[in-house]
Amino acid sequence: MTLFIAVHKWTPEVELVITKELIAGFTANLEGKIPEDVKLCATYARADQGAWCVWHSPSKEALEKFFEEYMPTLLKYSEFVPAVQTYPPTMEYVLGLCQTIVDMASK
């Protein structure tokens, strides 16, 4: 499963709509209404109409589908960036690092 960082930055004009959508999305998450393989790990709010969220999802498309259903306005103000957790190191990171070392050694 891929780790995604969701970068959200909206305008003050849609603040109320976004807040309502966030409540709907968090409620759906807590009630188990989202796909089992899409998981919210953490959310960090910004003071300037925005947030960063960490998600586990099988694909960007699965994450976008969830947002389309519960947070369509927020989706317009979002970017989903695939990421690899480096600390504490995960097996995905260690294997990627090993592959990088092998690639460098073969040059």
| Residue span of the structural domain in which 14 resides | 2-105
Angle between helices 15-30 and 60-70 (to 10 degrees): 110
Domain count, the chain: 1
This prediction has a pTM of 0.79
Express each pLDDT in 13-50 by its tens digit.
999 999 999 999 889 888 888 888 999 999 999 888 99
CATH number at residue 38: 3.30.70.3090
pLDDT (mean) for 41-63: 93
Q: Phi-psi category of 49—alpha, beta or left, where left has phi over 0 and alpha has psi -120 to 50?
A: left
**What is the pLDDT of the chain when averaged over all its residues?**
92
The answer on pLDDT for 1 being more than 80 is no
**What pLDDT score does 42 carry?**
93
The answer on pLDDT for 85 being more than 90 is no
**What pLDDT score does 62 carry?**
94
Q: Tokens 């998600």, residue? A: 55
